[in-house]
Structure 1
């Protein structure tokens, strides 16, 4: 649950930055979802890489 909330917060923050830079809904959604997924699944990805 902790990792989910961290991913949600970082995804929202990165979406805000993307919106401030591009003013594009597509880029904003793509960046936010990507960051959320990478944070949420990061433990599994890092375990496979290391």
Structure 2
């Protein structure tokens, strides 16, 4: 649950920064989702890479 909340917060922060810089909805959604998914599944991805 903690990883989910951290991903949610960091994804929102990434989206806010992207929106402030570009005002492009597509990039905002894409960056927010990518950051959230990388935080949620980062442990599994790193285990496979290492």
Q: TM-score range by the shorter chain?
A: over 0.9
Q: Note the residue ranges of structure 1 that are not aligned, 5 or more in a row.
A: none
Q: Note the residue ranges of structure 2 that are not aligned, 5 or more in a row.
A: none
RMSD: 0.3
TM-score by length of 2: 0.98
TM-score by length of 1: 0.98
Structure 1 segments, 4+ long, off by >4 Å, are none
